[in-house]
Amino acid sequence: MRGGRLHHNVSAHPFLGAVRTAPHYRMYSVRDGFPALLEDPSGGVPLAGEIYDVPLSAIRTDFLPDEPPELELTVVELDDGRDVLAVGLRPGVLERQADELTDITAHGGWRAYKGLPDPA
């Protein structure tokens, strides 16, 4: 995300725009350092994010090595019906590491939760 601590991993690739998820995800803050989506068909909301055109080779070499072990790539549905890759919480992490997670769904996205300015 623009302004985020790992933005350098995607900043060399085309920014395609701001997006919102379909309304069946929750967002968690992992150790207050990383956002993670988790599908929740019964209690999710649309969440703000960004989309980039990143080749799979760059995901493998530049993006994944910096991701914390609690996170994984997953496919999420956007509010316009497209399916895209996003960072999600690994199965079981919510149950095993609940004390390291904060449900930030009510904020509507990572940028709002962290109080980051909207980039121009």
Report domain extents, the chain. 7-107
Distance (Å, whole) CA 120 – CA 118: 6
Q: How confident is the model at residue 3 (pLDDT cuts 50, 70, 90)?
A: low
Two tokens, residue 56: 């799979």
> 13: pLDDT confidence band, cut at 50, 70 and 90?
confident
**Residue 2 pLDDT exceeds 70:** no
Q: Is 46 a residue whose pLDDT tops 90?
A: yes
Give the max Cα distance, the chain: 39
The per-residue pLDDT for 71 is: 93
pLDDT tens per residue, range 53-92 = 999 999 999 888 888 999 999 999 999 999 999 999 999 9
Domain covering 7-107, topology: Hypothetical upf0131 protein ytfp (3.10.490)
Percentages helix, strand, coil for the chain (3-state, rounded to 5) are: 25, 35, 40
Q: Decide if 37 contacts 23 (C-beta within 8 A).
A: no
- Quote the pLDDT of residue 12: 84
pLDDT digits (tens, 9 = 90+) for 92-119: 999 999 999 999 999 999 999 998 877 7
25-30 and 71-77 as β-strands: parallel, antiparallel, unpaired? unpaired
Which position has the token pair 């068909």?
41
Tokens linked to 70: 């609690």
pLDDT of residue 73: 93
CB 97 within 8 A of CB 107: no
- Please give the structure tokens belonging to residue 5: 């601590």
**Do residues 69 and 87 lie in contact, with contact meaning Cβ atoms separated by under 8 Å?**
no
Assess whether pLDDT exceeds 70 at residue 4. no
